[in-house]
Structure 1
Amino acid sequence: MTQRLPPSLTPLDAALAALLRELQPVAPIALPLAEALGCIAAEMPVLKAYPPHDVAAADGWALRANDLVGVSSYSPLPLPAPPVWVESGDAMPEGTDCVLDADAVATVGPISEVLAEGIPGQGVRRAGSDIAAGASVAAPGTKICATDLMLARAAGVGMLSVRRPRLRIVNVGDSRVSARLIAEHARACGAEIVEIAAGARDPASIADVLDASACDLLLLIGGTGVGREDAAISALAVHGNLLAHGIALEPGRTAATGRLGAVPVIALPGSPDQALATWLTLARPVLDRLSARRQQRAITLPLARKIASGVGVAEIALLTEEAGTWQPLAVGALALQSIARADGWLLVPGDSEGFAAGQPVDAYRLRE
């Protein structure tokens, strides 16, 4: 049976604006470091200097460089007492500022002699050289990564304040591939997947799993068409507030938006290409608002060849990066192999006929 489209299409920017209207970031939560990995940083603690004092960067003799000017094997410096031996990581003894190798000091009987010069800071890691006093683990709005956790551990920080929106996915019908694809993208963006619920195609069964009480964003995947077995939209209209059904987006025309109480709801078509397009243009911006994530930086490169597009519907183009250009892979209809190969994606606005070859375009990385 040929699928019929909704009778009218809502412009993509209007559908997104309605979803974002009055939407506020979720409250920060404090998580142990291991759980904070991948979340979006909120206000970060001010770090103390690390190391907190000068430490030896090598094994050797701790001495004061000014005492060693002109010293050599031909003009050794006798010491009134043996110098202090330090291991790498030890605090530098008071009044010392360099570490000399083991063979730079000779001991014969009760007498020790220095056989080489030193310079201030030689073999020493200065206080604050790894982490300056007042530094931060990560900038608010950025994703916590492994190196951020390294800083936190070195500075003795055990908990971090992050924003981690809770995402619930309802898999309508048989959309398991798309549901997993979207869940994995959402985790990479810092979301907590509280559940991937299975729902049948009939309105009553779908209504049973339309629960937004324990999530900040609800995604329905599948059942968004107007066929006889597509009931996700009617269930949302009955039990929530349907904002739009039919978005001027290719792929993804049968997507829908709504709310259950204050929780935004996005219904993604079941096929992977349509689900991905709806995720990139509607669901991810909503998730970024909820997590207060900084806007993704565009990568501007010239197009290797032209992209043609019809006016009236925004289109997703998948791209690979080749020799300093964006090479178009697919536009509108996105094969699974193209999705797997793509490095980036580009939105062709609905009022555009496309882009000429060689024209610089702003595209976004598809891989986190």
Structure 2
Amino acid sequence: MNGCGCSGAGLRPVDEAIAALMDFVPPPPPVVRVDLEQALGRVLAEDIRSPLDLPLWDNSAMDGYALRAADTGADGARLRVAGCIAAGQSSQVELQPGETMRIFTGAPLPPGADCVVAQEDCQADGQWLQVPRVDKGNHVRPRGEEVCVGDPLLAPGRKLRAQELGLLASVGFDSVAVFRRLRVCLLSSGDELREPGESLAPGQIYNANRFSLGALLRSWGMEVHDYGVLADTLAASRDALSLAASEWDVLVTSGGVSVGDRDCLKQAIRELGELHLWKLNMQPGKPLAFGSISGKPWIGLPGNPAAALVTALVVARPFLWRAQGRDAVEALPATLPAGFDWPAPNSRRQYLRSRVELDARGFACITPHPQQGSAMLRTASWADGLAIVEAGRTLRAGEPLPFLSFSELGA
């Protein structure tokens, strides 16, 4: 059991804090196998190689006619229609010189055929067909064009989207090995918090963080258990945290990590495990706590709703994604012109709740909300991402600026 190992002097750079957190990521959860219908959003836990060629055979990319390219000269050819092959059918009859077969998209080429001519490029006359000159391989999808047997398809750590599920189905997988969902316990700190629907006494507020943070964690594919509000007593905090650590993979709290005197949460963490208090070089979201209880990681987010949301998206997200088993956890900002001036530098890196709008010329630019208070969730609802203004920077409209979309952050 250790106390806070941080001096608290100065502000810790956000990127440095994220890197430090990543050093404490636990191993991913156990592996389970799920049906493909249940795999959306799960994290792949096995190396996938193709068990077959895709396509399995040379097939037509068009509705048209299969033929031999050698049968067509400079002026085309008049060929006899020898049959028809629909998708799902095949022909074992070898196509003879001077013959063609009607064929539909996806149908296997008959033996002897090496090209397809689109139906709109032909002129039919009963059992005869006038075709133009055609090159070998025209409108043909050859066997193994997409993948061959043994080709790597997907690596462990990939979050499975609709396109990955379709790819797995296309090579015959009906189930897949994934990591069990990360089990996160969510706790709120503050005697002033009440649930929506309850009446408020003077000094009380509704617990927004329970809903925003819980929804965020679930949208990341995690299993969330809500322990509700911790009473501001040492015994209550200690008991709740000890129980949560015995049952869940990761603990996340909001509130109780600033420099106030009501530090029951921090004291409980000190007594139960390890505590680090960091002051981050970011706004909103300066206070952040991190530690462990009985070997289970704990992240303490700020209590102000907007600060809690932004800190979760920027700092906690890569840690939690990696703990879930994901490989790619870095959010890649786009670069867009600022649609505003920033004449006075700030001592902290700014994460401005912003959205992309069109300027007077019809070009996309970043527009921040005029209200950026740490408690204001309305601005996050209005925004579609976060504009990043580095500490000490001034800015003129039109200058390039990094922009993290909420979709890139998984929000």
Given the two structures, how large is their TM-score scaled by the length of structure 1? 0.77
Question: Structure 1 stretches of 5 or more lacking a match?
Answer: 1-6
Could you say which residue in structure 1 is the equivalent of 2:382? 341
Counterpart-to-counterpart distance in 2, 1:236 and 1:49: 55
Q: What displacement does 1:272 show? A: 1.6
Counterpart-to-counterpart distance in 2, 1:245 and 1:113: 81
- CA 1:231/1:247 → structure 2, altered by over 3 Å: closer, same or farther? farther
Q: What displacement does 1:78 show? A: 8.9
Could you say which residue in structure 2 is the equivalent of 1:49? 53
Q: Tell which deviates more after alignment, 256-265 or 194-203.
A: 194-203
Counterpart-to-counterpart distance in 2, 1:78 and 1:138: 43
| Amino acid paired to 2:291 | G
Counterpart-to-counterpart distance in 2, 1:25 and 1:122: 51
Q: What displacement does 1:129 show? A: 4.0
Could you say which residue in structure 2 is the equivalent of 1:185? 216
| Amino acid paired to 2:131 | A
Counterpart-to-counterpart distance in 1, 2:379 and 2:238: 35
Counterpart-to-counterpart distance in 1, 2:24 and 2:309: 25
- CA 1:176/1:91 → structure 2, altered by over 3 Å: closer, same or farther? farther
Q: What displacement does 1:161 show? A: 4.7
- CA 1:206/1:242 → structure 2, altered by over 3 Å: closer, same or farther? same
Counterpart-to-counterpart distance in 1, 2:28 and 2:104: 48
- CA 1:360/1:142 → structure 2, altered by over 3 Å: closer, same or farther? farther
Contact residue 354 and residue 368 of structure 2 kept, 8 A: yes
Contact residue 81 and residue 100 of structure 2 kept, 8 A: no
Deviations 1:137-166 (A, max 9, x none): 456655332122222211222344555533
- CA 1:348/1:193 → structure 2, altered by over 3 Å: closer, same or farther? farther
- Aligned mate of 2:71, from 67, 75, 78: 67
- CA 1:124/1:331 → structure 2, altered by over 3 Å: closer, same or farther? same
Q: Tell which deviates more after alignment, 263-272 or 247-256.
A: 247-256
Counterpart-to-counterpart distance in 2, 1:97 and 1:105: 20
Q: What displacement does 1:279 show? A: 0.8
Instruction: Note the aligned Cα RMSD (angstroms).
Output: 3.7
Q: What displacement does 1:273 show? A: 0.7
Could you say which residue in structure 2 is the equivalent of 1:3? none
| Amino acid paired to 1:55 | N
Counterpart-to-counterpart distance in 1, 2:250 and 2:277: 16
Q: What displacement does 1:27 show? A: 5.4
| Amino acid paired to 2:39 | A
Deviations 1:200-251 (A, max 9, x none): 3244344343213454331012344566776433332332322116555433
Residue 167 (1) aligns with residue 184 (2):
yes
Could you say which residue in structure 1 is the equivalent of 2:312? 279
Counterpart-to-counterpart distance in 2, 1:363 and 1:286: 21
- CA 1:68/1:181 → structure 2, altered by over 3 Å: closer, same or farther? same
| Amino acid paired to 2:57 | H
Could you say which residue in structure 2 is the equivalent of 1:256? 289
Contact residue 60 and residue 86 of structure 1 kept, 8 A: yes
SS at match of 1:115: strand
Deviations 1:326-355 (A, max 9, x none): 333357524323211223224555xx3333
Counterpart-to-counterpart distance in 2, 1:248 and 1:84: 70
Q: What displacement does 1:257 show? A: 1.9
Q: Tell me the matched-pair count.
A: 353
Deviations 1:98-122 (A, max 9, x none): 3454985655xxxx54432462345
Deviations 1:160-217 (A, max 9, x none): 45555332212344464322222333344x4412422223324434434321345433
- Aligned mate of 1:355, from 394, 398, 402: 394
Counterpart-to-counterpart distance in 2, 1:284 and 1:99: 51
Could you say which residue in structure 2 is the equivalent of 1:195? 225
- Aligned mate of 2:302, from 260, 269, 294: 269
| Amino acid paired to 2:392 | E
Deviations 1:288-310 (A, max 9, x none): 43233242212223433333454
Contact residue 63 and residue 99 of structure 1 kept, 8 A: yes
Could you say which residue in structure 2 is the equivalent of 1:39? 42
Question: Structure 2 stretches of 5 or more lacking a match?
Answer: 1-6, 83-95, 195-205, 358-362
Given the two structures, how large is their TM-score scaled by the length of structure 2? 0.70
Identity rate, percent = 27
